[in-house]
């Protein structure tokens, strides 16, 4: 039997249709108007042949139509595939081929890329502006509320996974709802709250904000891009919550200066990359209420939080698992208690698209093997020892060495390649490559960069290329990345 619950946007529209629901560059919607426009868009998608259970891909800017599409897909029972606008063409083609969407929805700003995708995959396209209707539905709803099957797939969000190959994480409506409910228990939403979205909706953290706002019945302001001045202006005018990555927090702290922080700002959720202690200390000293988070795509957003209580506020490294998120450490080292972090709970994803072997490897008896290392103390506080050993997190974006290495090895002059991260003052970490070239061949850095940039998102392209005669490997042929880091020159000052 389906586990049905009333659609939370529809329930909000019935209870308070004239409440402000969405502010974006393209317009403003009340709860009733947003509900009506979402239903109208769902109807137009159905007219184009999209059926419940089908996948609809989205290549759109973060704006009002993107929020409408998120709600319309749920209303129709379709599965949303948000495509990363920063990804390279070959990456997007591979994702579309894997997910086989029935329709690709794009906006005018992404029209050229959508046409390339359509040519490479034969997917049908539709312009999101053409799916918009008038402000219908501004009045109170009547009749039965549409239902949401919590067990049904809601989204496919591609994440590289620990192997470096792109995988589509299947998240159900129940996963998204459980994540929102867990955060509600910590953040305790108030009717006066106003959420600000300045993370992209093609990342799970951005999607989570849209779900929280409608499920908690709170106004949502959407910025198409992170601009420090715009974020500061929204905070000054009453935004209560937002999510940032460390580089964004650094910029905001510097721009904010010594001004008093308005009491309406209740929390800045910080995640997406290792958090420099200095960044956190400076932001909190400026009065910014920063909460550190730990999570991933496979957990529908964060599953642990720091700074929300005295114990974790006093210890910046400590996090408390969210209510409903179960965390344990596998095979802890007797010396320091560090082992692999495992997570279970209703927010843990349903598996990888078309990859039962990877799903079985990552999900065992309901426990997600994160690949991250950490420890749990007697008070249940989680401390992250390290991210995935090979992972480079640059400006909040995941860069998996295996993916970049495969592209480098595809160059005719490259025999072998390895990628590691090096600390960077701006991005936290950046990818750096070591290559072994064919004897007698000559290939410059600019050529290697062009080769990578044609196949990878810009943030995945190594910032430096080093030549080695051979790469350090163990007996099994695995690259010894720790040794490689020691071999490579340090980053220039």
CATH code of the domain covering residue 156? 3.40.50.12780
The pLDDT value given to residue 353: 97
Shared-domain flag, residues 186 and 241: yes
State pLDDT tens for residues 441-493.
889 999 999 999 999 999 999 999 999 999 988 655 668 888 898 899 876 65
The residue to which tokens 């064919």 are assigned = 438
For the chain, what is the total number of helices (H) and then of strands (E)? Answer: 15, 28
Q: How many CA atoms lie within 13 A of 204 on its CB side?
A: 33
Whether 461 and 453 have beta carbons less than 8 Å apart is answered as yes
Domain boundary among the residues 355, 382, 409 is at: 382
Any domain includes 277 = yes
Same domain for 370 and 411, yes or no, is no
Mean pLDDT of 313-336: 93
C-alpha to C-alpha distance for 61 and 85, rounded to whole angstroms: 8
Confidence tier at 414 by pLDDT (50, 70, 90): very high
Same domain (yes/no): 327, 426: no
In a shared domain, residues 309 and 424: no
Number of independent structural domains in the chain: 2
Is the pLDDT assigned to residue 432 strictly greater than 90? yes
Sign of the CA dihedral with 256 first, then 259, 264, and 267 last: positive
Residues 269 and 180 in one domain: yes
Q: Residue 115 domain-assigned?
A: yes
Q: Reduce the DSSP state of residue 159 to 3 states and report it.
A: strand
From residue 151, how far is each of 147, 196, 309, 428, 439 by CA, in Å?
12, 28, 33, 37, 56
Q: What is the CATH number of the domain that holds 479?
A: 3.30.300.30
Domain range for 81 is: 4-382
Least confident of 146-155, 164-173, 202-211: 164-173
Strand (E) positions, 286-444? 290-296, 301-306, 318-321, 326-330, 339-344, 351-352, 363-364, 367-376, 382-386, 392-394, 397-399, 414-424, 428-437
Residue 162's pLDDT band, with cuts at 50, 70 and 90, is: very low
Is residue 493 a part of any domain in this protein? no
State whether 366 and 442 are in the same domain: no
- Contact yes or no for 64/40 (Cβ under 8 A): no
Tell me: do 346 and 441 sit in the same domain. no
pLDDT of residue 132: 87
Same domain, 445 and 317: no
Handedness of CA 209, 213, 218, 224 (dihedral sign): positive
State residue 136's pLDDT score.
43
Query: Does residue 182 or residue 384 have the better pLDDT?
Result: 182
Judge if 368 and 397 occupy the same domain: no
In percent, how much of the chain has pLDDT > 90?
A: 75
**Residue that finishes a domain, picked among 348, 382, 416:** 382
Asked whether residue 439 falls in the same domain as residue 291, the answer is no
Which of 349, 382, 415 is where one domain is finished? 382
Residue 152 falls inside a structural domain: yes
Q: Are residues 300 and 438 in the same domain?
A: no
Q: pLDDT tens for residues 40-74? A: 999 999 999 999 999 999 999 999 999 999 999 99
**Average pLDDT of the segment spanning 408-419:** 92
Mapped onto helix, strand or coil, the DSSP state of residue 323 is: coil
Assign 367 a pLDDT band (cuts: 50, 70, 90): very high
Identify whether residues 439 and 368 lie together within a single domain. Answer: no
């Amino acid at each position: 039997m389906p586990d049905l619950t009333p659609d939370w946007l529809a329930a909000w529209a019935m209870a308070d249709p004239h409440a402000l629901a969405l502010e974006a560059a393209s317009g403003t919607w009340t709860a009733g108007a947003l509900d009506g426009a979402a239903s109208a868009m769902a109807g137009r998608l159905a007219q184009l042949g999209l059926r419940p259970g089908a996948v609809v891909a989205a290549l759109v800017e973060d704006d009002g139509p993107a929020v409408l599409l998120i709600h319309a897909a749920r209303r129709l029972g379709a599965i949303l595939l948000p495509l990363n606008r920063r990804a390279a063409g070959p990456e997007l083609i591979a994702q579309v081929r894997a997910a086989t969407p029935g329709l690709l929805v794009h906006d005018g700003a992404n029209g050229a890329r959508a046409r390339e995708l359509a040519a490479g995959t034969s997917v049908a396209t539709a312009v999101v502006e053409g799916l918009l209707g008038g402000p219908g539905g501004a009045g109170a709803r009547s009749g039965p509320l549409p239902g949401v099957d919590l067990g049904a797939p809601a989204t496919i969000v591609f994440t590289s996974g620990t192997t470096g190959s792109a995988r589509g994480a299947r998240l159900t409506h129940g996963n998204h709802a459980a994540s929102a409910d867990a955060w509600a228990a910590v953040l305790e939403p108030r009717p006066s709250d106003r959420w600000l979205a300045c993370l992209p909706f093609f990342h799970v953290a951005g999607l989570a904000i849209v779900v929280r706002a409608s499920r908690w019945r709170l106004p949502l302001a959407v910025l198409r891009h992170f601009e420090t001045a715009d974020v500061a202006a929204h905070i000054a005018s009453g935004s209560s919550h937002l999510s940032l990555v460390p580089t964004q927090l650094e910029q905001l702290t510097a721009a904010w200066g010594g001004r008093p922080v308005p009491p309406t700002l209740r929390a800045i959720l910080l995640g997406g990359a290792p958090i420099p202690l200095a960044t956190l200390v400076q932001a909190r000293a400026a009065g910014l209420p920063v909460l550190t988070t730990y999570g991933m795509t496979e957990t529908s957003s964060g599953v642990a939080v720091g700074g929300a209580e005295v114990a974790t506020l006093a210890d910046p490294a400590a996090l408390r698992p969210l209510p409903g998120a179960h965390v344990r450490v596998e095979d802890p080292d007797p010396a320091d208690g560090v082992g692999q972090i495992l997570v279970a709970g209703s927010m843990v994803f349903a598996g990888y698209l078309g990859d039962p072997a990877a799903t079985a490897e990552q999900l065992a008896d309901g426990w997600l093997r994160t690949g991250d290392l950490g420890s749990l103390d007697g008070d249940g506080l989680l401390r992250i020892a390290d991210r995935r050993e090979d992972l480079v997190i640059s400006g909040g974006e995941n860069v998996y060495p295996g993916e970049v290495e495969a592209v480098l090895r595809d160059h005719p002059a490259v025999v072998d390649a390895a990628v590691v991260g090096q600390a960077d003052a701006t991005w936290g970490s950046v990818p750096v490559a070591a290559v072994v070239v064919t004897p007698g061949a000559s290939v410059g850095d600019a050529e290697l960069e062009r080769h990578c940039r044609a196949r990878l998102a810009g943030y995945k392209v190594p910032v430096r290329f080093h030549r080695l005669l051979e790469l350090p490997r163990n007996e099994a042929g695995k690259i010894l990345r720790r040794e490689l880091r020691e071999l490579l020159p340090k980053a220039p000052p």
